[in-house]
Amino acid sequence: MAEDIPKFRYDAALANDIETRWQARWEAEQSFRQPNPGEPGFQAERPKYYCLDMFPYPSGAGLHVGHPEGYTATDILSRYKRMRGFNVLHPMGWDAFGLPAEQYAIQTGVHPALTTKKAIDNFRRQLKRFGFSYDWSRELGTIDPDYYGHTQWIFVQIYEAWFDVQQQKGRPISELIAELESGTRAAQFNPDAAEVGHEDKRKVFAWSALSKREQRAIIDSYRLAYLAQQTVNWCPKLGTVLANEEVIDGRSERGGFPVFRRPLKQWLFRITAYGQRLIKGLEGLDWPDATRAKQTNWIGHSVGAEVSFELAQPLGEQQDLYVFTTRPDTLFGATYMVVAPEHPLVSAVLQAPRPETDVSALQVYVSKARNRSDLDRQQDKTKTGVFTGVYARNPVNGEHIPVWVADYVLMGYGTGAIMAVPAHDERDHEFALAFGLPIREVVKPASGSVEGCFSDDGIAINSASSVVSIDGLPTPEAKAKITAWLEQQKLGKKKHNTRLRDWLFSRQRYWGEPFPIVYDADGDHHPVKKFPVELPELADYQPEESDEPRPLLAKAQAWVHTTAGAAGVEGLPADAKVTRETNTMPGWAGSCWYYLRYADPRDASEPISREADRYWLGDGVDLYMGGAEHAVLHLLYARFWHQILHDLGHVSAPEPFKKLFHQGMILNFAYERADKTLVPIDEVDAVEGEPVERATGQRVTQIVTKMSKSLRNVINPDDVIADYGADTFRLYEMYMGPLEASKPWNTRDIAGLQRFLQRAWRLVIDESTGQPKLSDAEDPQLERQLHRAIAKVQGDIERIAFNTAIAALIGFVNAGTSAAGLTRSQAERFARVLAPFAPHVAEELWQRLGMDGLVSLAAWPSYDDAQLHDATVEVPVQIMGKVRHRLQVPAELDAAGLEKLALADPKVQELLAGKSVRKVVVVPGKLVNIVAN
RNA sequence: GCGAGGAUGGCGGAAUGGCAGACGCGCCGGACUUAGGAUCCGGUACCGCAAGGUGUGCAGGUUCAAGUCCUGUUCCUCGCACCA
């Protein structure tokens, strides 16, 4: 059969040929290399644009279709900005340390260094095949020793810093030490340190009388990176502890394994100190409201009072029980207290039971709570608890109230103990009813009455004693008065609290950054100042599933045991024996600062030079594109590091990401049976247009859901490129709908975008010769349409609305197809507006038109405002808001003229017959609305 | 429970308070073809032969004019969740 497809028809084969050719040329010419200030070729007069993608975690599975969605969007913006004369920083790299790579290595028996390298090579190949205009000379990987050496350096900066609450600012630890030594700061533990007990915080020392070790303890309580015995989320299956953020519904985010609580000595970041800064910093940012709200909620800042309740009899060292409450005005209604099962009071009372203590019941309850995974604990919300036998004294009225232990109180929030006010707190109410505890009303609603538990603001009642009274005060005043009284009596103080907890930073796994920390013979920690601390080769990286955490790096004995001199530790004799920290950093570490490194990727002496920071990041990253799944974790952690680095003077911008945009998720269709179970996409046939399950012949319903292997609806980008080409793929994903929306993949729709490129190609190129076919005479109507398309595309790119920009390009090509043809000038301008979206075909058109250089580096075409409108316009004439007639009028006709014309029109007069005109609304050039009855 | 967002043709979606449905898919008709799952041209919200009428989840309201603003409501999606 004769093949009469023209030789230069734009089909998948030609697209693939064009694309690979231009990609090779861009690479050979380093077309998108962006020099830094001071480097040859740097153009100082240009404005800058830093366009950043969230770098991928290179998995063995390769890219999925969600990756190129965000990457195409930033590529369009980067290419557009380049054409508009910006210096564009558009880099790419690899987030390559972390649990998934290690899990994969364990499964396959291949070392993570090898599997990761392979995955990176594959990702790079796939990304290059899309023609993304990254500056590959800036490529980096978090696993590069050069890179993670700086990650470790930043850790040491954080370790050697503290947060000054007065100034709301991080400062070098040396300044704190100077203040302590000079006596300008009282020698006390950090009052906000979560790891220090209340008894210790109360003490005031004489600095010079303290031993070195005692001084160290006080200094350490201020450090922003600190070591503490913590109740942690221990995941035996993964053989590591996890951050709260990595635990979802009591299971590990990775793998979905059960997580238990156990005490462990761990490195933590004092991120809670930055809680208020992290909320406040969101104010000026151009971020999605939802993401700002998520972070604010996650940090969960609340203001209240910390109140001490004196124990009826001291328990060992403990004399007081501290609680945090946002409702100090309800103190008179506190009829009992509750401590978390992990609270120190519990072990104290087990040591020295009171007459009323039921030791065995208490022991059973506490051990049960400990062994219960968070999952069980959260699923079962019925209130349980045990009386400890201890009583505490209510400071406002001297009443002795019982102290209970119950797992509805969490050790991780506030002080791990509460005063229970069952009349005005739902949970306390439920607990009191379950255990027959007294309920005393101390707030009444300002008007009306309430059944059950009233937890809103109201008026204080029954709130007076011989020492203090707040009766009759509205809640806000009652809070203020009682807090002032508590402070004056030294029984409490105003307190800010965050739901956010300090960030657990240790992992017991192999595939992560080693800590730049060693321990001396006394077990004291010291920072390492020689970077990188290289991850030792380890042939056996199999974690042991156990209840007792054993860091994998402990197996590298030769690496663990070293000397201060060899490790690069200051302040110890060079031959002093030290052992290295064997925990590793979590996967988040590398992604906390990679956007800084791109600006200066080969600087050996520091993470980023001052010049590179000032130029590229002086006001932060101009656009950060990535998935909403990172709204809290990565985006909060990175802001935290950045704020510290800013406070310490290492970076100039107060916030790292000026504008943030989340691309929506790409979903796919699946089919659902009547019983809501899902049917894989390839087991469904269309029968008379209705989807039917092949095996059963039953009707199924089309739904939209996440792509998944089990539904066999995962789309492989490589296949799509082979079938249609990268330009079509890029256009399709951008055309699916608004970038921020989640939307279903529909392979059928891709053809429409390929047809568009085909028509565009044919509009300029003769399919049989490959030569341009151009018109000599300019069609003025088509010229106006080109100006409109340029204006529309330009505006739409600026507002990140690529679907409508592409619609405008399609509209222009359709208009061109029905007109006599494009002139050379029109074809050449069209190639430019097309270039950000479909860069390969745009380059090919550009070259075939005989233009010099690359269209990718050409200037964006301008448009003429005067060309955006036609001389005459059609104006609808409405009567009572309904369109009844249309008039052709000069575009610039003013309101009075238009009204006159409309009312004089015979058709309008006919429609108005028998009615009187009440009012005429005229929008010049738009419409006429006649109100008549 | 708290927080955020959404609902427009057969499907994806478009619309600074100013002609609802741009553009694409699909579908219908035609042209060119030995052929068409290629290409080109035309049509396509719904009801109606038409004139015309009806339409943006539902019920109200503001306005000359509402998909858009306001009030209430239903359903859906996402995030957090015993946070004192």
A239: left (phi over 0), alpha (psi -120 to 50) or beta: left
Q: What is the DSSP string of A795-831?
A: HHHHTT-HHHHHHHHHHHHHHHHHSS---HHHHHHHH
Give the C-alpha separation, A808 to A792, whole Å.
7
Q: Give the pLDDT of residue A1.
A: 33
Residue A327 CB-half CA count within 13 A: 24
Structural element, H or E, at residue A39 = none
Q: What is the DSSP string of A352-400?
A: S--TT--HHHHHHHHHHHHHS-HHHHHH--S---EEEEEEEE-TTT--E
Closest nucleotide over all strands to A875 (CA to C1') = B19
Q: How far is the CA of A393 from the C1' of B1 (A)?
A: 33
- Kind of pairing between the strands at A336-339 and A400-405: parallel
To which residue do tokens 């509805």 refer? Answer: A408
Q: Give the pLDDT of residue A4.
A: 58
Q: Name the nearest CA neighbour of A262 among A347, A383, A367.
A: A367
Give the C-alpha separation, A212 to A216, whole Å.
6
Residue with minimal CA–C1' distance to B52 is: A884
Residue A674 buriedness (CB in 10 A; 0-12 / 13-18 / 19+): exposed
Q: Give the pLDDT of residue A863.
A: 96
By three-state DSSP, how is residue A766 classified?
Answer: coil
Q: How far is the CA of A902 from the C1' of B59 (A)?
A: 37
Rounded to a whole number of angstroms, the CA Rg of chain A reads: 34
Closest nucleotide over all strands to A415 (CA to C1') = B84
A508 CB contacts (<8 Å, ≥6 apart)? A239, A240, A241, A543, A549, A550, A551, A552, A583, A584
By three-state DSSP, how is residue A70 classified?
Answer: helix
Closest nucleotide over all strands to A420 (CA to C1') = B84
By three-state DSSP, how is residue A691 classified?
Answer: strand
Q: Give the pLDDT of residue A378.
A: 64
Q: Which nucleotides of B are covered by protein (CB under 7 A)?
A: 3-5, 11-16, 18-20, 22-26, 34-35, 39-42, 53, 64-66, 77-84
Q: How far is the CA of A757 from the C1' of B58 (A)?
A: 43
Query: What are the beta bridge partners of residue A652?
Result: none
Closest nucleotide over all strands to A5 (CA to C1') = B38
Q: Is the peptide bond before A532 cis (omega within 30 degrees of 0)?
A: yes
Residue with minimal CA–C1' distance to B34 is: A1
By three-state DSSP, how is residue A474 classified?
Answer: strand
Give the C-alpha separation, A189 to A222, whole Å.
8
Asked if A262 and A249 touch (Cβ cutoff 8 Å), the reply is: no
Other Cβ atoms closer than 10 A to A695: 9
Asked if A803 and A735 touch (Cβ cutoff 8 Å), the reply is: yes
Q: How far is the CA of A6 from the C1' of B34 (A)?
A: 19
Q: How far is the CA of A5 from the C1' of B30 (A)?
A: 23
Cα A341 to Cα A335, A420, A468, distances in angstroms: 20, 16, 33
To which residue do tokens 């850790």 refer? Answer: A155
A516 CB contacts (<8 Å, ≥6 apart)? A152, A153, A155, A156, A527, A528, A529, A531, A533
Query: What are the beta bridge partners of residue A140?
Result: A93
Give the C-alpha separation, A227 to A706, whole Å.
41
Structural element, H or E, at residue A861 = none
Asked if A430 and A383 touch (Cβ cutoff 8 Å), the reply is: yes
Closest nucleotide over all strands to A759 (CA to C1') = B39
Q: How far is the CA of A714 from the C1' of B55 (A)?
A: 38
Closest nucleotide over all strands to A817 (CA to C1') = B40
What's A335's DSSP letter? -
Give the C-alpha separation, A121 to A131, whole Å.
16
- Kind of pairing between the strands at A743-745 and A140-141: unpaired
Residue with minimal CA–C1' distance to B77 is: A742
Query: What are the beta bridge partners of residue A518?
Result: A526, A580
Give the C-alpha separation, A930 to A918, whole Å.
8
Residue with minimal CA–C1' distance to B23 is: A807
Closest nucleotide over all strands to A704 (CA to C1') = B77
Q: Name the nearest CA neighbour of A227 among A216, A236, A235.
A: A216
Query: What are the beta bridge partners of residue A269?
Result: A225, A503
- Dihedrals phi, psi of A139, to nearest 5 degrees: -50, 140
Blockwise average pLDDT, block size 10, chain A, 933 residues: 67 94 98 97 97 95 93 98 98 94 87 95 97 98 98 98 96 98 96 90 94 96 93 81 74 80 88 94 91 92 94 89 95 96 92 95 89 64 92 96 94 92 93 95 85 87 95 94 95 92 90 97 96 92 77 92 96 96 94 98 96 97 94 94 98 96 90 78 73 80 82 90 95 95 91 95 91 90 94 96 96 89 94 98 96 97 91 86 86 88 87 84 89 82
Q: Name the nearest CA neighbour of A407 among A365, A438, A379.
A: A365
Structure tokens at A424: 């005005």
How many distinct helices (H) and strands (E) make up chain A? 30, 37
Structural element, H or E, at residue A579 = strand A577-580
Give the C-alpha separation, A396 to A387, whole Å.
23
Q: Give the pLDDT of residue A89.
A: 98
Query: What are the beta bridge partners of residue A223?
Result: A162
Query: Both ends of chain A: CA-CA distance in Å?
Result: 72
Q: Name the nearest CA neighbour of A621 among A613, A630, A633, A611.
A: A613
Centroid of chain to Cα A756:
36
Residue with minimal CA–C1' distance to B19 is: A876
Give the C-alpha separation, A517 to A581, whole Å.
6
Q: How far is the CA of A691 from the C1' of B58 (A)?
A: 30
Q: How far is the CA of A305 from the C1' of B68 (A)?
A: 46
A735 CB contacts (<8 Å, ≥6 apart)? A752, A753, A802, A803, A806, A807
Q: How far is the CA of A427 from the C1' of B82 (A)?
A: 7
Asked if A929 and A881 touch (Cβ cutoff 8 Å), the reply is: yes
Q: How far is the CA of A366 from the C1' of B29 (A)?
A: 78
Q: How far is the CA of A885 from the C1' of B19 (A)?
A: 10
Give the C-alpha separation, A369 to A379, whole Å.
13
To which residue do tokens 């985006």 refer? Answer: A635
Residue A8 CB-half CA count within 13 A: 19
Q: What is the DSSP string of A281-334?
A: TTTT-B--HHHHHHHHHHH-EEEEEEEEEEEEEEETTEEEEEEEES-GGGGGG-
What's A372's DSSP letter? S
Closest nucleotide over all strands to A920 (CA to C1') = B64
Q: How far is the CA of A756 from the C1' of B44 (A)?
A: 20
Closest nucleotide over all strands to A499 (CA to C1') = B83
Give the C-alpha separation, A805 to A799, whole Å.
10
By three-state DSSP, how is residue A210 classified?
Answer: coil
Residue A92 buriedness (CB in 10 A; 0-12 / 13-18 / 19+): buried
A915 CB contacts (<8 Å, ≥6 apart)? A932, A933
